[in-house]
Structure 1
Amino acid sequence: MSGMTTRKLKALETKKALLETGLELFNKKGFDNVTVDEIAKTCNVSKGAFYVHFKTKYDIFNEKFKDIDDFYSTFLDKIPKNISAREKILTFFEAQMVYLRDNLGKDLIRTVYMNAMSLTIDKNHYLANPERNLYQIIYSFVQEGIDNKEFKEGIASEQASKLITRCMRGTIYDWMIFGDDLDLTQEITDFTSAVMDGLKR
């Protein structure tokens, strides 16, 4: 049993090293200019070891977004149940921006987003996938706001959710452009509040 535990720990360490190395190389050279061979060689592992953990180099981005989405799910339990849907959305977005800024950092987020956007965007792309935890959480808050008559009648939950999540993506994009001159938490609060004011009943 202890041998299995050691192997699992070693496998986790290898996967983490491949993930971090891949992101670092993408940042330095651009996604298209990095090969699986180079990632494996830089990590001092075989190409086969890479394929044990990832099907393609594209999956490195998928893995990073899974990590980020895991944080969103964890934080959800910390949001008070007795506040309005509007307050839940703002609380969630503020925590998201603090996490991106303080835990992941602008350089990593820029690498992940910019390289992801250089790939073909379709309905299955993780940035647009409505099944992502992030979008499901916002959708649930919007539906709650409509059910509680916080938001006006006649607007579909899907449409309202799209408008609100664009606030998040727009804020992240501006952060990449303006850097530390932009106050992430203030920006997301102001932007999202303005949009939700338009959705008020």
Structure 2
Amino acid sequence: MPGLTQRQLKAQETKKRILDTALALFGEKGFDHVTVDEITAKSETSKGAFYVHFNSKYDIFLEKFKEIDEFYADFMETLPKEMKSYGKISLLVKSQMVYLRDSLGKDLLRTVYVSALIPNKSDYFSNMERQLYKLVYKIVEEGQIAGEIKEDRSPGELTMVITRCMRGTLYDWQLFDHFDLVLEGEKFIQAILEGIQKEI
């Protein structure tokens, strides 16, 4: 594949500068208190450049979550082949909590979830084609085939239960002070896994 042209490299650099600036401003002031004008001024870009890369400031979040989905894809490659399916799910949840805590942080994640509830916004978070859903589904399906996970529910149903557990933990992180996201995520998913694991 040929290398990128100078123009393409510059466009990538501009997009990253807008993205990083906007995320920093959202974290500092809150999503609703940041304007596109402020993002472009602070990132030293034009409004036209902003709209070349993003349709709205909400699209900044979607771009960030696409990066997170890449994390899930990369994560799959690190899993030991011999690890049991419920071990893989547990490790995925722990890795997700560490990543979101360290990559987004509590305040910015709160803004992401609140913004996702705005009517007529993207259905990105409920899109079952996201890497997260596909990864959990694959692990569950393989676990059922291997006789490690009960088969009384479909892989799709169990995928929803597990991902709701993840979202529920992230929601509780917003509600409670002194909430250890990683520890609570591990405890919550362990309770779920004990219910779906086959007796051996």
TM-score, length basis structure 1: 0.85
Q: Which of 183, 194, 197 is 2:194 aligned to?
A: 197
Asked if structure 2 preserves the Cα contact closer than 8 Å seen for 1:135 and 1:161, the reply is yes
Asked if structure 1 preserves the Cα contact closer than 8 Å seen for 2:26 and 2:108, the reply is no
Q: CA deviation at 1:174?
A: 1.4
What is the alpha-carbon distance in structure 2 between the residues aligned to residue 3 and residue 183 of structure 1? 43
Residue number in structure 2 paired with 1:184: 181
Q: CA deviation at 1:88?
A: 0.4
What is the alpha-carbon distance in structure 2 between the residues aligned to residue 41 and residue 54 of structure 1? 16
Alignment of 1:120 onto 2:100? no
Residue number in structure 1 paired with 2:98: 98
What is the alpha-carbon distance in structure 1 between the residues aligned to residue 4 and residue 82 of structure 2? 48
Amino acid aligned to 2:119: T
Cα deviation digits, residues 111-166 of structure 1 (max 9, x gap): 3223223x2278x5111111110111011111111112222223111111100111
**Matched residue SS, 1:127:** helix
Residue number in structure 2 paired with 1:30: 31
| Unaligned residue ranges in structure 2 (runs of 5+) | none
**Matched residue SS, 1:17:** helix
Asked if structure 2 preserves the Cα contact closer than 8 Å seen for 1:26 and 1:115, the reply is no
What is the alpha-carbon distance in structure 2 between the residues aligned to residue 12 and residue 110 of structure 1? 27
1:7-156 alignment, distance < 5 Å: 7-27=7-27, 28-31=29-32, 34-117=34-117, 119-120=118-119, 125-156=123-154
What is the alpha-carbon distance in structure 2 between the residues aligned to residue 90 and residue 37 of structure 1? 43
Residue number in structure 2 paired with 1:4: 5
Asked if structure 2 preserves the Cα contact closer than 8 Å seen for 1:94 and 1:185, the reply is yes
Asked if structure 2 preserves the Cα contact closer than 8 Å seen for 1:23 and 1:112, the reply is no
| Unaligned residue ranges in structure 1 (runs of 5+) | none
Asked if structure 2 preserves the Cα contact closer than 8 Å seen for 1:21 and 1:42, the reply is yes
Which ranges of 4 or more aligned residues in structure 1 deviate by more than 4 Å? none
Amino acid aligned to 1:113: Y
Amino acid aligned to 1:120: P
Give identity over the alignment, percent. 48
